[in-house]
Amino acid sequence: MYVTRVRAALWIATLALFLALFNVTLSAQWLTYPSKGLPTKADGSPNLMAPAPRTADGKPDLSGVWDVEKNRPCGITGCPDQAPQEYFNIGWALKEGLPYQPWAAALVKSRTAQNSVEDPVTRCLPIGVVHTHTTPLLKKIIQTPALLLILNERNASYRQIFIDGRPLPEDPQPSFNGYSTGKWEADTLVVQSNGFQDDIWLDHNGSPLTEAAKMTERFRRVTVGRLEMELTVDDPKAYTRPWTVKLSQNLVPDGELLDAYCLENEKDIQHFVNHSVAR
Amino acid sequence: MKIKTLGILAAVTLTLAAIPAVAHHSFAAEYDSNKPVTLTGSVTKLEWTNPHARFYADVKDASGNVVNWEFELGSPNGLMRRGWTRSSLKPGDVISVEGYMAKDGSHLCNARTVALADGRKIFAGAAEDGGPGSK
């Protein structure tokens, strides 16, 4: 019928306009490509509250694309890619703040007074595992029986957490990511790390991590949609006692990593008012 | 769905697209939150790159001289997840920007909102860089 054909043409035109407006084709949309294998609700959407998936050997599976949990107020139009409080101050949730050694407290005061212009994030340098946890760029965890591999959007970088039973290295070559080995304690993956480079910035304030540090991360996937992590830093050179904070990630059920190269087009450093010589 | 309804839906969607991005650097190191500005101009270039997308526009000053200004947006990663693409802004587009001036006196502005010629307002600030409205 003529009316039916007109209506069909209208639908096609509407769809074409919709696609043109959003400049996409359905088959090429990796930005929102849905993850396979997630449990679903009655309406077909992912059930993020379902129990955490398990691997063939019965361990919780931490695999997925993850985004750091946001705990700062959002702008009027929403909360995407908002950095959490811990990005600026890793000890934000601690009642008495971070237990800095006096020199570390003075260092943080000096860094914040200069608007953190030497922040390695700003200089496009590697930023270490803690700042990577709090950075609002996506991460992908790939879990195999012997290795937990974390792929980061930031500078298309990676981190390896070995779960093959190897001990921590003795006298390791200092590294931005350190050396990590983990083992399962019931449903919690307990990861120990050492071998850090000296003076890694744990946050934008410049809280230091020294080469003397030992770090423990306890990962627990409490539901499909939530990965909780407890971070303990034991660094007597910079802190008067070990301290523990909680950092969590939320699953991105329909997202894929996009490379984010900091050096691609860095144009801010030249405009900073507190100029310093780059490392 | 009627075309008109679809158009309104698209406009509303773009308006709701918040576009903050990675906190590459401290807002206060570069921009003055006490110097809000509104600038209107014609886009000359868009750099759809990390760590901050940025666009350039010819802006007429009070004497009628045309000055090319640089405007900083968020990371493309955040922008795309909010519905922007590298085609969202084209050379020739007339835009009005609300933002904050660079501290060093250069023709550089951190764009908090960008309004297209038809009035659609799009939030463009890197909200988690510590700048106004982010805390």
pLDDT in tens, A113-138: 999 999 999 999 999 999 999 999 99
Question: Same domain, yes or no, for A83 and A212?
Answer: yes
For chain A positions 213-272, those within 8 Å of chain B (CB to CB) are: 255, 258, 260-262, 264-269, 271-272
> For A42-46, B76-80, B102-106, B124-128, which range has the lowest pLDDT when averaged over its residues?
B124-128
Please, are residues A154 and A262 in contact by the beta-carbon 8 Å criterion?
yes
Q: Which residue of B has its CA nearest to A260?
A: B50
Report the pLDDT averaged over residues A70-74: 78
Q: Regarding predicted confidence, which is higher, A44 or A159? A: A159
Question: Same domain, yes or no, for A114 and A175?
Answer: yes
Tokens of A269: 């450093």
- Report the C-alpha gap between A218 and A232 in whole angstroms: 9
In chain B, which residues have their Cβ closer than 8 Å to the Cβ of A136? 22-23, 78, 128
Tokens of B104: 């060093």
Backbone angles phi, psi at A188, to 5 degrees: -110, 130
Largest CA distance in chain B: 51
Q: What's the confidence (pLDDT) of residue B35?
A: 84
Asked if residue B44 belongs to a domain, the reply is yes
Asked if residue A56 belongs to a domain, the reply is no
Query: Is A81 near chain B, with CB under 8 Å?
Result: yes
Asked if residue A274 belongs to a domain, the reply is no
Residues 6+ apart with CB under 8 A from A16: none
Question: Same domain, yes or no, for A116 and A206?
Answer: yes
Question: HSE on the CB side for A215, CA within 13 Å?
Answer: 26
**Cross-strand bridge partners of residue B41:** B59, B95
Asked if residue A44 belongs to a domain, the reply is no
Residue pairs between chains A and B whose CB atoms are closer than 8 Å = 153
Q: What's the confidence (pLDDT) of residue A74?
A: 64
Q: What pTM did the predictor assign? A: 0.83
Amino acid at A174: P
Angle at A93 between CA A92 and CA A99, to 5 degrees: 70
Please give the helix or strand (H or E) that residue B34 lies within, else none: strand B31-47
Query: Is A168 near chain B, with CB under 8 Å?
Result: no
Question: Same domain, yes or no, for A21 and A113?
Answer: no
- Structural domain of A163: 64-261
Task: Report the number of distinct structural domains present in chain B.
Answer: 1
In chain B, which residues have their Cβ closer than 8 Å to the Cβ of A80? 18, 20, 78, 81-82
Residue A146 has pLDDT above 90, yes or no: yes
- Structural domain of B43: 3-127
The minimal CB distance from A75 to the residues B22, B50, B127 is found for B127
